[in-house]
Amino acid sequence: MKKRIVSLMLAGVMILSMAACGNSSGKSGDTAKSVELAVTTTFAGEDTNAQNYKDAYTAWEKETGNTVVDTSATSDETFKARITTDFETGSEPDVLFFFNGADANSFIEAGKVVSIDDIRAEYPEYAGNMNDDLIAPSLVDGKKYAVPVNGFWEAMFVNMEVLDAAGVSMPDGNYTMEQFKADCEKIKAAGYAPIAAALGNIPHYWWEFAIFNHQSPKTHLEIPAGVDDANGQAWVAGMNDIKELYELGYFPENTLSATDDETFAMFTDGKAAFLIDGSWKVGGIVGACQSDPEDPSTLDEEKLDKFDVTYVPGSGDRKASDLVGGISMGYYITKKAWEDADKRAAAVSFVEYMTSDSVIPAFAQHAASALKNAPEVDESEFNILQVKAMRMMAGATSLTGAAQDLFQGECRVSTFDGMPEIVTGKVSAEDAVAEGLEVYHNQ
């Protein structure tokens, strides 16, 4: 009898549960427009736009009633590996903010993201506020996939205090390598390190410009077929230029054993004069001028004013004002989200919102964007170094992408990690370039 009562009670509970389930399905049907969107970006950690990103997607959530499941992480090799694995295992996000160069090749080859043209076939206004010429095409099929937010530039930061002490004047857009070497000699004689660079750790910027100085904006992005062709010889000459600067003693004494942080500290502490780096370093220099790097109100403006940014010395067909830069990242919509009837509209809405004319200026700041109608810049909103950066950018004669964005992976080893061997003469520039190109063409 007892068993019968228990059975009846269980049956009753089951019926009630099923009824409850039925009710909940009904409710979810009522709120079908609310979508949970998985989004992964690199706006995380110490990225200057991490807070801007949070603010922007929170505003989008409020506006649409949708939810963002944010899995953003700092952009590093682990992050790139995670994205590759996610796509391979079918656990990719719905929307991804990622690189548009060789890093994206694997998931584009696998057809896991949707091109802008395919999205426009259904949503004609998609990325309509962008200048299409500035959206980088995929290296795989030439189609455009990633809607850009902010660009980058690479230039030469200057510590004016060191220049003044050495009696060197601020370089301009006509700065040549010969003038640069003469200035370095004066700076070295004054007891300072002319160039802040850790050749054993981050030789990337010097690699890029040293090669660029033997090419032109037109030829810079052509990866040489071999070491013997004109571009190959330009690469070799670039490596030999760095070797010459090393032998002249223009890099810090510990350039082969120092980390990038150490040489950057030399620059901000007034022990080195020149630093070639990217637009993201503006934030780093500003941080070094704050007594509390986390608190912008502690900025020492007088100290910041001692830093400036100018053009990397030019040579041959490359003028100093021919910069390396562009837009290397953007928002992708994955095929997984596109094929989900509920998520398709939400993903499009999200990307449109995050790349709108009102949101992008907060992200782009002093760097470039691909907006058709770039908003007027109010200089009073920026610090002195950002203003100097904007003025420097205004004088740029061309903006060419970074060749190293096309030359990724194992092929870099012989000339990037191998830079100490090149400058110390343990390996010839010719051999190092030949080895890298061979790996590149076999990849």
List contacts with other proteins (CB under 8 A).
77-78, 80-85, 88, 106, 200-201, 252-254, 256-259, 262, 265-266, 269, 271, 409-410, 412-413, 417, 420-421, 424, 426, 443
**Contact partners, residue 78, CB within 8 Å, separation at least 6:** none
Q: Which is nearer to other proteins, 128 or 409 (CB)?
A: 409
Nearest to 405 by CA among 189, 207, 266: 207
Shortest CB 56 distance to other proteins, Å? 28
Q: Are strands 95-99 and 36-40 parallel, antiparallel or unpaired?
A: parallel
Q: Least separation, in Å, of the C-beta of 179 and other proteins?
A: 28
User: Alpha helices of 42-115 — where are they, by DSSP H?
Assistant: 50-64, 77-89, 105-109
Closest approach, Cβ 94 to other proteins, in A, equals 19
Closest CA to 24 of 36, 12, 16: 16
Nearer to other proteins, 266 or 354 (CB): 266
Nearer to other proteins by Cβ, of 249 and 316: the residue is 249
| Least spacing, CB of residue 259 vs other proteins, in Å | 7
3-state secondary structure of 332: strand
Question: CB-wise, 171 or 203, nearer to other proteins?
Answer: 203
Residue 203 CA to residue 422 CA, distance in Å, equals 12
Q: Which residues pair with 9 in a beta bridge?
A: none
Per-residue b/e over 406-441, b at no fewer than 16 CB within 10 Å? ebbeebbebbbebbbbbbeeebebbebbbbbbebbe
Q: Which is nearer to other proteins, 314 or 436 (CB)?
A: 436
The C-alpha atoms of residue 112 and residue 332 are separated, in whole angstroms, by 10
Choose between 109 and 122: whose C-beta lies nearer to other proteins. Answer: 109
Q: How far is the CB of 188 from other proteins (least distance, A)?
A: 16
CA distance 242 to 209: 10
Smallest separation (angstroms) from other proteins to the CB of 328: 18
Identity of the residue, 51 or 443, whose beta carbon is nearer to other proteins in the bound complex? 443
Q: How far is the CB of 255 from other proteins (least distance, A)?
A: 9
